[in-house]
A and B are shown apart, each in its own frame.
Chain A
Amino acid sequence: MIVKPHIDWFALAPSLALLGAAGLLLMVAVFAPRRGRKATSAFVAFGGFVASGIWAAFLDDRSPNATALVHDAMWRDRWGALAQVILAGSGAVAVLLSYGERMRDEHVAEYYALLTSAGAGMAFFVQAGNLMTLFLGLEWFSIALYVLTAIDIDLVGSLEAGLKYLVIGAVGSATLLFGSALVYGITGELSFDRIAAAGHAHDAMLVVGLAMIIVGLGFKASAAPFHMWTPDAYQGAPTPVTAFMSSATKIAALVVTYRVLVTTFPHDQHLWRVAIAVIAIVSLAWGNIAALVQRNVKRILAYSSVSHAGFMLIAVAAATPLGARALLYYLIPYAAMSLGAFGVVAARERELQRPVTLQNLAGFGWERPFLGIAMWVFMLGMLGFPLTGGFIGKFYVFAAAYDHGYWWLIVAGVIATMISAYYYLGIVRAMYFRDAAELQLAPAGGSPPFDPLLLAGVGIALAVTVGSFFAVQPLIDVARSAASSLPL
Chain B
Amino acid sequence: MLTTALIAIPVAGALLIAIAPLSSYWLGSLAALISLVEIGVWITTAARFDFSSSSLQMDQRASWFSDLQVSWHVGQYRFSLWFVGMTVVAMAACTIYGWWAGRDRARAYFALMLLLTGAIVGVFVAQDLLLFYAFFEAMLIPLYVLIGVWGGSDRMRATITFVVYTVVGSLLMLAAIVVFGLQQGTFDMTRMGTSSSQWLFLGFVVAFAIKSPLFPLHGWLPVTYRESSAEVSAVLSGIVGKAGLYGLLRIAIPFFPQPVHDWRIVMLILGSVSLVYGSLLAFRAPDFRGVVMYSSLAQSGLIVLGLFASNSLGFDGAVLQIVNHALVSTALFLLAGMIERRTGTRGEFSLLGGMARGRPALATMIMTVGIISLAVPLSTTFAGEFLILAGVFQQGWLWAVIGGASMVLAAMYMLRAISAVLHQDVGPAVSENALDLRVGELAIVVPLVVCLVGLSAWPNLVSGRASAPTSSGWTQYAP
Contacts and interface: CB of A to CB of B under 8 A. Distances in A.
Interface of A: 325, 366, 380, 385-387, 391-392, 394-396, 398-399, 402-403, 407, 410-411, 414, 417-418, 421-422, 425, 428-429, 432-433, 472-473, 476, 480
Nearest to B115: A387
B168 A418 contact: yes
Contact of B65 (A394, A411, A414, A473): A473
B194 to A, nearest CB: 19
Nearest to A416: B171
B163 A425 contact: yes
Interface in B136-170: 137-138, 140-141, 144-145, 148-149, 155-156, 159-160, 163-164, 167-168
Given A402-B182, A421-B167, A429 B159 contact: yes
B163 A433 contact: no
The 5 A-B residue pairs with the shortest CB-CB distance in the complex, in nearest-first order: A386-B134, A472-B65, A433-B148, A421-B167, A398-B178
A421 B163 contact: yes
Interface of B: 63-68, 70, 105, 130, 133-135, 137-138, 140-141, 144-145, 148-149, 155-156, 159-160, 163-164, 167-168, 171-172, 174-175, 178-179, 182
Given A410-B178, A411-B175, A473-B63, A395 B130 contact: yes
B149 to A, nearest CB: 6
Nearest to B131: A386
Contacts of A399: 68, 178, 182
A418 B206 CA distance: 15
A394 B140 CA distance: 18
Contacts of B155: 433
Contacts of A366: 105
A19 to B, nearest CB: 36
A473 B148 contact: no
A476 B141 CA distance: 26
A126 B73 CA distance: 39
10 contacts: A385-B140, A385-B141, A395-B178, A398-B174, A399-B178, A432-B148, A433-B149, A472-B64, A472-B65, A473-B65
Nearest to B139: A386
B156 A407 contact: no
B65 A418 contact: no
A344 to B, nearest CB: 17
B174 A395 contact: yes
A402 B171 contact: no
Give the dominant DSSP class at B's interface: helix
Contacts of A476: 65, 67
Nearest to A386: B134
A358 to B, nearest CB: 12
Contacts of B182: 399, 402-403
Given A366-B105, A399-B182, 20 more contacts: A380-B141, A385-B140, A386-B133, A386-B135, A386-B137, A387-B134, A395-B174, A398-B174, A398-B175, A399-B178, A402-B179, A414-B171, A414-B175, A418-B164, A429-B156, A432-B148, A433-B156, A433-B159, A472-B65, A473-B65
A473 B66 contact: yes
A421 B168 CA distance: 9
B10 to A, nearest CB: 14
Contacts of B168: 418
A428 B144 contact: yes
A389 to B, nearest CB: 12
Contacts of A421: 163-164, 167
Give the dominant DSSP class at A's interface: helix
Contacts of B159: 425, 429, 433
A386 B126 CA distance: 14
B64 A473 contact: yes
Contact of A432 (B141, B149, B174): B149
Nearest to B134: A386
A228 B461 CA distance: 65
A476 B105 CA distance: 40
In the complex, which of the residues B63, B64, B68, B159 has the most CB atoms of chain A within 10 Å of its own CB atom?
Answer: B68
Given A432-B148, A433-B149, A410 B167 contact: no
A410 B148 contact: no
B148 A417 contact: no
Contacts of B67: 325, 472-473, 476, 480
B207 to A, nearest CB: 12
Contacts of A380: 141
Contacts of B64: 472-473
A10 to B, nearest CB: 31
A209 to B, nearest CB: 35
A396 B140 CA distance: 22
A391 B141 CA distance: 13
Contacts of A391: 134, 137
A422 B138 CA distance: 17
A387 B164 CA distance: 20
Contact of A425 (B68, B105, B144, B174): B144
A431 to B, nearest CB: 10
A155 B16 CA distance: 43
Nearest to B160: A422
Given A421-B164, A472-B65, A476-B67, A385 B137 contact: yes
Contacts of A410: 175, 178-179
Nearest to B135: A386
Contacts of A411: 175
A380 B171 CA distance: 14
Nearest to B63: A473
A433 B155 CA distance: 9
A121 to B, nearest CB: 33
Contacts of B66: 473
In the complex, which of the residues B68, B171, B174, B178 has the most CB atoms of chain A within 10 Å of its own CB atom?
Answer: B178
A411 B145 CA distance: 28
A380 B149 CA distance: 17
A356 B163 CA distance: 25
